[in-house]
Amino acid sequence: MNKNHQPATQRKLNFLQTVKTVLWGLFGVRKGKGWEDDLSRVNPVYLIIAAVIAIMLFVLGLVTIARWLAGQAI
């Protein structure tokens, strides 16, 4: 069986490790070997949840900064 298609119960990364993987992905700097290792061990459910949370926090941060800067301009 291809190591990228392991059943979710056999994958090894916990949720916090998956969050770290998502943050590295958002940052955009990751070595190919590290990415392949994480990809083979990540739980798809954790990956989706972590990505949605990270994107929501990113957007919330941008909105907060924009409101703060708009308030400073007045």
| pLDDT tens digit sequence for 12-59 | 778 888 888 888 788 877 777 777 777 778 888 888 898 899 999 999
What is the reported pTM? 0.67
SS3 content of the chain, % helix, strand, coil (to 5): 80, 0, 20
Q: How confident is the model at residue 60 (pLDDT cuts 50, 70, 90)?
A: very high
Domain of 22 in residue numbering reads as 3-73
Alpha carbon 26 to its chain centroid, in Å, reads 6
| pLDDT of 1 | 47
| pLDDT (mean) for 4-12 | 58
pLDDT, position 3: 54
Counted domains in the chain:
1
